[in-house]
Amino acid sequence: MGIKDRALAFGKKFKLDSHHAIERFGVFFGIFTVAGVIVIGGTGASAFKASSDSLAHTALYTEEFTTSKTELNGDVDGVYTNEAGDKALVMMHFPANASISYNAADYRAFLLGSDSDLNSEVVETSGIKGSFHVFGSTGYIGVLLDADKPFDKQVLNLTVRADKELSYDERKQNEGSADELAGDASFKKYDQWRVFFNPGATGATEIKALDAMNFDPAQAYYDVVLQDEEQEIRDKLDRKLVAMRTNLAQIQAYTSDLETTKVDGLFLRPPSVPAEIAGDEVTGVSASEAKDGKSTLTLKSEHVVPGGFDLNWRAGNVYDGYLDVLVPSGQSYVEFLSSRRAEGSDSTSQQISDMPWVLSDGTELKSDYQASDVTMRPLTNVMNNLSQAYQDYAKSKSEYQSDLLLELLGLDVKLRDVQSNGSIHEGDNFLTTLY
């Protein structure tokens, strides 16, 4: 039996054979094909120009898809491989609120080769085993392919089928004619989608998770999703430390002004600073100041704002786990985070607003003098400058210890979801490959 006959037989056996509608779709959309990528209706199939250059470099041809029956939209994050090139992970995700099955056993897949005209071909890479991974309740799913040898440079057609329909919308079920629903007979009968990709291309991204002896879904989720998110938060933490250092420098400068600014011999005495910010320091150098371009800025403080955290985030990462360092022995991380939320809001800003500003003769600038008194304006300006510097620092510290560090810990919580609630479907019952 020839390759074409085997492809046709494979398609008929698993109800993946082409319907006439796909031919009409292909011809119509082919007119508008630019740079070789187009998504065809609900099937999520992509038309592409599989030139020799494309085969060498392009790893992903389908960046988004729509499930054929329930019309859920999803994105393909990328194609990831190991250093040896014999493992490939196709990572996809649905919106966080999408009604999908979080049980990997509810999915199966079919793998075929494909040419530039969407014709099915045999898969050239031998010995491919596949597994389907659901990454907790995050909305991320992935198909892991493990081959006997490095993947050939070949465009592969991966059809993922949900044995249980992902969602139901009566309005969508009643809309459109048969031709409008899907270009493939099986896409009308089953809820499924297609991804065209080339794991042998140089454009595939290598990740550490695929070089490990045993595949760890949590490591893969960290490599693909959380690592970039973590870096964004770390960059924001660094920028906030720079701002806090600037605020502290302003506080020092305006405090010095208290000694030198006088009105008829009167001057302001240094105010009693709220304990929550008194004695705080930001040490180290920023990335722009460091010779190696790596920031070493660190907040040194004896007080943590309500709902905040004292965390040396530079010493670890989300995959290694920050919560393990913070959560006291005998307490769950859920209880720990709940207790921090119950601490309420930071009152430092209000304390600064109520701060008394006492003059050298014992009078109080805000209560004993009119704000419009032009004679006291030099002292009023010094007071306002220092007070604002305190406010700016207090706000920055609260955002740093509470908001931003909580964002970082939120990634840790997502990873724990993957570790606790992830599922896997593997073996012949999951992947069927056309050889």
- The DSSP output letter for 41 is G
Q: Tell me, yes or no, whether 93 and 150 share the same domain.
A: yes
Q: Hey, what are 408's tokens?
A: 């970082």
Position 62 pLDDT exceeds 90:
yes
Q: Tell me, yes or no, whether 97 and 151 share the same domain.
A: yes
Between CA 218 and CA 318 the distance in angstroms is 11
| Rg (the chain; Cα; Å) | 30
User: How distant, in Å, are the alpha carbons of 10, 140, 227 from that of 58?
Assistant: 26, 23, 23
Q: Hey, what are 11's tokens?
A: 């398609």
Between CA 412 and CA 309 the distance in angstroms is 14
Contact residues for 3 (Cβ-Cβ < 8 A; gap 6+): 121, 122
Cα dihedral 313/319/320/321 (nearest 10): 60
Q: Hey, what are 76's tokens?
A: 């393909």
Query: Which domain-ending residue is among 215, 235, 269?
Result: 215
Q: Is residue 204 part of a domain?
A: yes
Confidence at residue 321, expressed as pLDDT on a 0 to 100 scale: 95
Give the dihedral sign, CA 258/259/262/264.
positive
Share of the chain above pLDDT 70, in %: 83
Give the dihedral sign, CA 74/80/86/87.
negative
Confidence at residue 14, expressed as pLDDT on a 0 to 100 scale: 56
Q: Tell me, yes or no, whether 107 and 245 share the same domain.
A: no
Long-range interactions of 128-131: CB distance < 8 A, separation 24+? 128/431, 128/433, 129/426, 129/427, 129/431, 130/426, 130/430, 130/431, 130/433, 131/215, 131/424, 131/425, 131/426, 131/427, 131/430, 131/431
Q: Is residue 431 part of a domain?
A: no
Q: Tell me, yes or no, whether 197 and 258 share the same domain.
A: no
Q: Tell me, yes or no, whether 204 and 244 share the same domain.
A: no
Average pLDDT, the chain: 86
Going by C-alpha positions, the residue among 406, 238, 389, 265 that lies closest to residue 322 is 406
Mean pLDDT over 383-397 rounds to 97
- Domains contained in the chain, number: 2
> Is-contact 131 161, C-beta < 8 A?
no
pTM of the predicted model as reported, rounded to 2 decimal places: 0.83
Position 7 pLDDT exceeds 60:
no
Confidence at residue 1, expressed as pLDDT on a 0 to 100 scale: 59
DSSP string across 153-207? S--EEEEEEESS-S---HHHHTSS-HHHH-SBHHHHHSEEEEEEE-TTSTTSEE-
Q: Is residue 430 part of a domain?
A: no
Q: Hey, what are 373's tokens?
A: 């008194």
Phi, psi at residue 394, to the nearest 5°?
-60, -40
Going by C-alpha positions, the residue among 91, 114, 83, 81 that lies closest to residue 204 is 81
Per-residue pLDDT reduced to its tens digit, 380-389: 999 999 999 9
Q: Which helix (H) or strand (E) holds 349?
A: helix 348-353
Per-residue pLDDT reduced to its tens digit, 133-192: 999 999 999 999 999 999 999 999 999 999 876 554 443 444 433 333 334 678 888 899
> Is-contact 309 320, C-beta < 8 A?
no
The SS3 call for residue 92 is: strand
Confidence at residue 35, expressed as pLDDT on a 0 to 100 scale: 32
Query: Which domain-ending residue is among 184, 215, 246?
Result: 215
For tokens 């465009």, the residue is 155
Q: Tell me, yes or no, whether 207 and 230 share the same domain.
A: no
Q: Tell me, yes or no, whether 211 and 255 share the same domain.
A: no
Confidence at residue 164, expressed as pLDDT on a 0 to 100 scale: 77
Q: Which helix (H) or strand (E) holds 314?
A: none
Position 96 pLDDT exceeds 60:
yes
Q: Is residue 268 part of a domain?
A: yes
Q: Tell me, yes or no, whether 176 and 281 share the same domain.
A: no
Q: Tell me, yes or no, whether 200 and 233 share the same domain.
A: no
Q: Look up the domain containing 152 and give its range.
A: 3-215
- The DSSP output letter for 376 is G
Q: Tell me, yes or no, whether 210 and 244 share the same domain.
A: no
Q: Is residue 61 part of a domain?
A: yes
Query: 265 in the Ramachandran plot: left (φ > 0), alpha (ψ -120 to 50) or beta?
Result: left
Confidence at residue 23, expressed as pLDDT on a 0 to 100 scale: 34
What is the β-pairing status of strands 120-121 and 129-134? unpaired
Between CA 118 and CA 30 the distance in angstroms is 11
Q: Is residue 369 part of a domain?
A: yes
Q: Tell me, yes or no, whether 338 and 392 share the same domain.
A: yes
Confidence at residue 179, expressed as pLDDT on a 0 to 100 scale: 34
Q: Is residue 407 part of a domain?
A: yes
C-alpha angle with apex 430: 90 to 46, nearest 5 degrees? 40
Query: Which domain-ending residue is among 167, 186, 215?
Result: 215
Q: Tell me, yes or no, whether 237 and 200 share the same domain.
A: no
Q: Greater confidence, 14 or 316? A: 316
Confidence at residue 163, expressed as pLDDT on a 0 to 100 scale: 86
